[in-house]
Structure 1
C-alpha cells in the first residue's frame, strides 16, 4: 500500500496503511450487517466493489489507469448486490459523524438494495453532475455497488471473454 501512496491523490489514503485497513474493515463489517438486515444473502465476507452506471470524473481521473467491464444490472439478484451513495467508506464516515456540511441523512450511511436503487433511478433519473448534492470538490462521485457473490462476476467474465 505504501508503494501506491501519492501525495494529494486518490491514493493519498494509503499514507497510513494501518488506519486505512482498520477503517476499511469497519466499513465492510457495517456494509455486510446492513445488507443482511435488509434481506441480503452475502456469499462472501467482503464484496467486490463496482460502480453503478458511470462516473465521468472517475473515468477521467489522472491518478491511475482504470480497467472497465460492464455487467448489466439485470444480471444481479436482490440478495447478491448492495449499493451506497458515493464511496461506501465516505458514506459510512459521513453518517457516523453527521456534522459535515456534506452529510445527507437520506443517502449517507445507508445501504440500498437493488430494488431501492432502481426506484431511486426511476424517480431521479440516472446520476448526472449535481445529482449528488454537496460533495468535496476533489471527490469522485458515483454510486458504489458491492457484489457479495464473487462467482457471479467470475462467471460473467468467463462467458464474455474478459481478461
Structure 2
C-alpha cells in the first residue's frame, strides 16, 4: 500500500511549484549559487547539467507512458508526508492528497530521479542496483513496485546497498490541480 499523500517542499522566498530547468541557464545557475552560498544545502557544481539530463530522460519516458501532458517539465513531489523541515533550503511544504491528482498526470521514480538513472546506468553503482532503478512508473506501476519491494525506510542508514533509497519521487505533469489547491487554501 502506498501513502495517500504527496509532499512538495520549497523555498518560501521563491514560492511553490517551480522547476529550475524552466529557467535560462544563467538564471538557474544564479539561484543554485545563492543556495550554495547560504550553506543550507550542498549542491554540486555539475548539478544543473545532471538535472537537465535526468529531466530529459523523464520527459522521454513520460511521453511513452502518458503521451502529451499540460506541462513539458514536471513539478517534483515526494510520495508520503515529508513536511518535516529537514531541508533548510526548502523549509516550506505543501501536502496534498494523492487522490486529488489525476493519475494520467503522474509519474514516479524509485528512488528520486537524480539517483535512479545513474544507479541503473553507471558501473560504479552496480552494488546499489535494484530492478526498479532507471525506470519511470505510472501510478498503477508504482503500486506494484511497492507491493514487491516495499516502501523506502530507514534501512538506507544501515544497509549500504540501500543508501540511495530514501524516498519515492513523484513528477506531476499538470499544474491545474496544484493551482486549484492553492486557490482553495
TM-score where L is the length of structure 2: 0.68
Which residue number corresponds to residue 2 of structure 1?
33
CA drift of 1:121 comes to: 3.6
Secondary structure in 1 matching 2:176 = helix
Which residue number corresponds to residue 147 of structure 1?
172
Match of 1:38 among 43, 65, 79: 65
For structure 1, the residue ranges without an aligned partner over 5 or more in a row are: none
Higher share of residues assigned helix: 2
CA contact (8 A) 2:108 2:138 kept: yes
Match of 1:130 among 136, 139, 155: 155
TM-score where L is the length of structure 1: 0.76
CA drift of 1:26 comes to: 1.0
Q: Does 1:12 align with 2:12?
A: no
- Name the count of aligned residue pairs: 152
Distance of 1:12 and 1:35 partners within structure 2: 29
- Mark the CA change 1:135 to 1:61 in structure 2 (over 3 Å): closer, same or farther: farther
Deviates further, 121-130 or 85-94:
121-130
Secondary structure in 1 matching 2:41 = helix
CA contact (8 A) 2:152 2:165 kept: no
CA RMSD of aligned residues (A): 2.9
Distance of 2:177 and 2:167 partners within structure 1: 22
CA drift of 1:110 comes to: 0.7
Deviates further, 29-38 or 62-71:
62-71
For structure 2, the residue ranges without an aligned partner over 5 or more in a row are: 1-31
- Mark the CA change 1:51 to 1:62 in structure 2 (over 3 Å): closer, same or farther: closer
Deviates further, 146-155 or 38-47:
38-47
